[in-house]
Structure 1
């Protein structure tokens, strides 16, 4: 039997409460991991997933201490090692890939310099060898033009590119173990699928052990050999991935799986009621009893112990009993006529030509977004999907006044123009259009309490003060499933998912007519995500709110959207009612995205249809997807703008392949062509 590389033995750690009581975050945790094995750790925010990963490195956040137990790596008790030896192991033998790559990268150093620094600290390579290795690592994680990326600063990369750069840095030291804390949260489905395949091969070929922390059970199904399900700092179920995900025993595991949106199942999945126990609270009964649909009187007699059940361990004496069905809530179709927002022939470019370019009259590069147009009806949700760099967030930024338009118009339903930048908009216009940002860390003031953050828009837009503002802010917290005690907390005291929920609550505080949702559920665990989606739907039904919903998660977009637009390189490839966009015939790019979606089933693998590349800029002429398309039919794709084919009920596909509403696709060009611009 292979000796474990990582071994957690009865580990309990936490903080000391004001009354002197030990308040545990991890409670008697025991885990083992062999070389080349991948362990997935899942659970809601606050369950202790990330704390486990950090403990394996011998790292404790300030204020925490070990109550009992050990964390052993490669024969070394990490908490017993001198600090110098422990630090030496980090980065060289054991490396962490964090959730937020933007915080892991130094903003004042180029990407190549940062990877070179990791190589200098953890390898014996000389300067010339390190230059070659830097480019090799950037190429390994599928970054376009490694030479160019190496010369860029972090802010010049997209969120997905930043995450890939962080993976490259972690691989620089030839580590024996990788601790991955939500490393693909910011990645689109195709990039995520390719990186996961790379990580799988890394574990098997090089014998690298991986601890993979994620709330995405589809990711865990793809990469993990075993799964550990955590709740309130404890293991509630652990075993082989196939056993845990296909035949879960614990009611909590079943609840997590039931909370996941599925491509083939329209509607918003059911979320688990209630919230987990407060971190550090004392447990005298089953921690899940208050939320469990199968609770019995005996469940409150004491804390259950882990018991073997086949190849698994389960913390429930009633595990495996039939569970009640979890039903999805279908969106109610409504007739919507009034317009909330309209984009007409919008082009957006970040290119700023210098003096010499203007003097020499050099042609400008193709705009980042071009010919973008759609109508958003009142009470409607429009989903925007596409890979990183497809222009989804750029369109949101233009609507919000954070990015200028080169041409075209953006107007509210009553005709008010939104082409002016945010600084030129009046207070009422600002209130009518609100944005929920992808990165909650960057959008919340770390020096303000949560209460101050939520009461600021209440005062600005409605003049609320004092007890009235306090009560309204607490109601907003309750709406996003955060307790009122968080009013006095600061962003740094909250988990990533909790901070994102505060961002959602802050946007709702303005009672907007149009809400721009930029990856608002990407940091949320599946149960809270389901609750957030249900909340968005309820507010829409009650207030007639309109949403533009941007997400990498195509199943989430399917659950909440009335209509969907698919973007590639800033061009709309396909648009129409959600039920038609998600069914054949597809644009080849839409089919590529659908094929890369991960299901929480270890026996279902993604289908990678497009070429494995990420493009730096859109092509100057022809179809934007021409270089990667698996169904390319010839030079016509390079030279002519694809025509718009309307199939039925507003379902439009821009492609040279002739299509029909019946679902057939012919490898022939459509005769009516538009010259390339």
Structure 2
């Protein structure tokens, strides 16, 4: 007996744009997608493979310049592209929710968070006005935002990137949708928040019988929430099947390559990136589109496009040799990152750095009201030439704030920043000389905030090349092409604008622009969060090469603890703007560890459907540090007692430069292995 019809039913969808010559260039090639109520389907693939385009098409929307060429997009029994605008407006945000990759696309910068959530509730919920405020607070608490009442009064710019993303998730859930489209919604979230949000989404899908389409390059996320996986390559489906089968024994070499590109928590190796790049729109396609990058390719593969055939374990694969995929795993080993000698000269020194966001008003100053604790306090870091220091911690822990202070974008309240030659660095970017600006470059988490949408990629790269090196004409263009090649884009992207690029492609342009200045120190703020696993592996390899060739030093901020483990020489673990653990990466990721470090490591996801993160029950992040004692005191699963409330934890030396700030003695910390589930 046939079951109910799928809620989302996309059939042979072709989407493209018109090129300069007038020809239609396809982005999606006859893609099918079906999602039933209560089912979660993951869409994976490299940047530019059409994942986001497919998800947005499900709600009857295409980005500017794209056109539907052929096919059907059926939602709840009716064609989305045939519906009237008023009907679409009623469906979107109500029956069909969207959580975008970039929270800046969902939040209005001039409106308070509470106003925006209440607006969503007014449009899409049948609630009395008097209940809107309570429902808004409940939604923020549901996505683990600390002090919802305070968050409701803030503007988006007063929140961290991860906090903004959680507000966007809360707004999408406000309408209690029948289907939810998620476009990389957790890339900006820390590991603990991400794990809790994924559990929330999975529970909501089951309890509300809600359909989910989850676009992500994070295969650990897909393993946690999705029932089925669909793999896209160059705009066409190359593999689909149950999540467990696809992630454990994929029947297509492309999926196998993606899995090999993932860094592993217990390995100090850089993952291997897939060789080559996928064909762009309009490039000639003969035979299998993956053949130029495939170790199994034969003349038969290049002669004709393979059909979708059964690949075992209920998988359908667009490959002539799905049973031979296991044979190509032997050459996927990663490479060892370049280390940094302990006697390497200093590149940057931070001493007693303290940063405040609060600005007391006149009445507070007259009354002598005590100021709240500093957002970031007591930061001491010594960065060597050719070294990578990783900064990890949850959203709001001060990681990006420290980078902005080093870059001169946020002057510290106290402390000093000194270059390797002993020069005290001016604290504001306006006070720094051009040579000082060139030496320190920053790559931001969100490329939309740093790339001018009105400029082409060529114009974006030309600015540092002209300013710092005086390049013009053919020399400038040749260097720009060289930079794009290093981030796996190439000359065809020079004339494109940011709006014509995927999220991962925009981030690669931002990386290329930073390296155009030939910097000595690069500040990396979540630069791989928008990248697919293969491009991420290529970028990590690029950073490793620059580190070795030019002794470039990096301060690397990331929520992805596996990426930090693979790339960093030393790691600082931050909680509420205080360093609670610091030392060599192997020591920090091993044992003994600070209780907070253990909480983070226990929440890391892996691309294994049977792996479950170990989370503390009823664990809620905090908005501000306590005035006294250990900053982690209110959440610590192994709190000692009142000493944690009153006394600053001592810096315990665990050897080899490994420092743990905790009242628990080292021998007891050592007995509590990192793999041990925290007490709830």
Range class of TM-score, shorter chain = over 0.9
Partner of 1:114: 116
Pairing 1:316–2:319 present = yes
Whether the 8 Å contact between 1:516 and 1:547 is mirrored in structure 2 is yes
TM-aligned CA deviation for residue 664 of structure 1: 2.7
Partner of 1:675: none
Partner of 1:31: 33
TM-aligned CA deviation for residue 122 of structure 1: 1.6
Pairing 1:513–2:520 present = yes
Q: Distance in 1 between matches of 2:338 and 2:358?
A: 43
Partner of 1:254: 256
Runs of 4 or more above 4 Å deviation: none
Query: Per the alignment, in what secondary structure is the counterpart of residue 372 of structure 1?
Result: strand
- Once structures 1 and 2 are overlaid, which stretch shifts more, 5-14 or 226-235? 5-14
TM-aligned CA deviation for residue 532 of structure 1: 0.2
Query: Per the alignment, in what secondary structure is the counterpart of residue 191 of structure 1?
Result: helix
Whether the 8 Å contact between 1:190 and 1:387 is mirrored in structure 2 is yes
Partner of 2:581: 574
Pairing 1:327–2:333 present = yes
Whether the 8 Å contact between 2:73 and 2:79 is mirrored in structure 1 is yes
Partner of 2:542: 535
Partner of 2:72: 70
Q: Distance in 1 between matches of 2:112 and 2:583?
A: 41
Whether the 8 Å contact between 1:659 and 1:665 is mirrored in structure 2 is no
Pairing 1:450–2:457 present = yes
- Pick one of 551, 554, 570 that aligns with 1:547: 554
Partner of 1:380: 387
Partner of 1:83: 85
Pairing 1:651–2:670 present = no
- Once structures 1 and 2 are overlaid, which stretch shifts more, 224-233 or 124-133? 124-133
Whether the 8 Å contact between 1:237 and 1:249 is mirrored in structure 2 is yes
- Pick one of 145, 148, 154 that aligns with 1:146: 148
Partner of 1:638: 645
Partner of 1:367: 374
Partner of 1:263: 265
Pairing 1:124–2:130 present = no
Unaligned runs of 5+ in 1: 667-677
Note the 1:546-565 alignment, pairs <5 A: 546-565=553-572
Query: Per the alignment, in what secondary structure is the counterpart of residue 572 of structure 1?
Result: strand
Whether the 8 Å contact between 1:14 and 1:65 is mirrored in structure 2 is yes
TM-aligned CA deviation for residue 665 of structure 1: 5.0
Partner of 1:290: 292
Query: Per the alignment, in what secondary structure is the counterpart of residue 639 of structure 2?
Result: coil
Over residues 406-425 of structure 1, what are the superposed CA-to-partner deviations in whole Å (9 max), with x where a residue is unaligned? 22211011111124211001
Whether the 8 Å contact between 1:96 and 1:180 is mirrored in structure 2 is yes
TM-aligned CA deviation for residue 89 of structure 1: 1.4
TM-aligned CA deviation for residue 283 of structure 1: 2.5
Partner of 2:406: 399
- Pick one of 200, 210, 213 that aligns with 1:211: 213
- Once structures 1 and 2 are overlaid, which stretch shifts more, 519-528 or 163-172? 163-172
Q: Distance in 1 between matches of 2:20 and 2:465?
A: 34
- Once structures 1 and 2 are overlaid, which stretch shifts more, 158-167 or 552-561? 158-167
Whether the 8 Å contact between 2:593 and 2:669 is mirrored in structure 1 is no
- Once structures 1 and 2 are overlaid, which stretch shifts more, 196-205 or 611-620? 611-620
Partner of 1:525: 532
Partner of 1:410: 417
Over residues 611-661 of structure 1, what are the superposed CA-to-partner deviations in whole Å (9 max), with x where a residue is unaligned? 521211111000000111111111111111111111110011000111149
TM-aligned CA deviation for residue 71 of structure 1: 1.0
- Once structures 1 and 2 are overlaid, which stretch shifts more, 577-586 or 331-340? 331-340
Query: Per the alignment, in what secondary structure is the counterpart of residue 81 of structure 2?
Result: coil
TM-score between both structures, scaled by the size of structure 2: 0.96
Q: Distance in 2 between matches of 1:180 and 1:423?
A: 40
Partner of 1:307: 309
- Once structures 1 and 2 are overlaid, which stretch shifts more, 317-326 or 644-653? 317-326
Partner of 2:678: none
Pairing 1:427–2:434 present = yes
Q: Distance in 2 between matches of 1:280 and 1:626?
A: 58
Q: Distance in 2 between matches of 1:513 and 1:20?
A: 45
Whether the 8 Å contact between 1:50 and 1:181 is mirrored in structure 2 is yes
Whether the 8 Å contact between 2:426 and 2:432 is mirrored in structure 1 is no
Pairing 1:178–2:184 present = no
Partner of 2:13: 11
TM-aligned CA deviation for residue 20 of structure 1: 4.4
Whether the 8 Å contact between 1:15 and 1:280 is mirrored in structure 2 is no
Query: Per the alignment, in what secondary structure is the counterpart of residue 665 of structure 2?
Result: strand
TM-aligned CA deviation for residue 334 of structure 1: 4.1
Whether the 8 Å contact between 2:592 and 2:666 is mirrored in structure 1 is yes
Partner of 1:615: 622
Whether the 8 Å contact between 1:610 and 1:629 is mirrored in structure 2 is no
Whether the 8 Å contact between 2:348 and 2:418 is mirrored in structure 1 is yes
Aligned length: 666
- Once structures 1 and 2 are overlaid, which stretch shifts more, 621-630 or 358-367? 358-367
TM-aligned CA deviation for residue 232 of structure 1: 1.0
Whether the 8 Å contact between 2:417 and 2:427 is mirrored in structure 1 is no
Over residues 418-457 of structure 1, what are the superposed CA-to-partner deviations in whole Å (9 max), with x where a residue is unaligned? 2421100111111111111111101011112111111111
Unaligned runs of 5+ in 2: 674-680
Query: Per the alignment, in what secondary structure is the counterpart of residue 94 of structure 2?
Result: coil
TM-aligned CA deviation for residue 179 of structure 1: 0.2
Whether the 8 Å contact between 1:595 and 1:609 is mirrored in structure 2 is no
Over residues 242-264 of structure 1, what are the superposed CA-to-partner deviations in whole Å (9 max), with x where a residue is unaligned? 00001111000000000001101
TM-score between both structures, scaled by the size of structure 1: 0.96
Whether the 8 Å contact between 2:192 and 2:394 is mirrored in structure 1 is yes
Pairing 1:482–2:476 present = no
- Pick one of 171, 175, 192 that aligns with 2:194: 192
Whether the 8 Å contact between 1:611 and 1:630 is mirrored in structure 2 is no
Partner of 1:673: none
Whether the 8 Å contact between 2:348 and 2:383 is mirrored in structure 1 is yes
- Pick one of 442, 445, 450 that aligns with 1:438: 445
TM-aligned CA deviation for residue 151 of structure 1: 1.6
Change (3 A) 1:593 1:610: farther
- Once structures 1 and 2 are overlaid, which stretch shifts more, 275-284 or 407-416? 275-284
Q: Distance in 1 between matches of 2:628 and 2:373?
A: 9
TM-aligned CA deviation for residue 129 of structure 1: 2.0
- Once structures 1 and 2 are overlaid, which stretch shifts more, 175-184 or 120-129? 120-129
TM-aligned CA deviation for residue 280 of structure 1: 4.2
Pairing 1:629–2:641 present = no
CA-based RMSD: 1.5
Q: Distance in 2 between matches of 1:177 and 1:158?
A: 28
Q: Distance in 2 between matches of 1:645 and 1:61?
A: 54
Whether the 8 Å contact between 1:10 and 1:29 is mirrored in structure 2 is yes
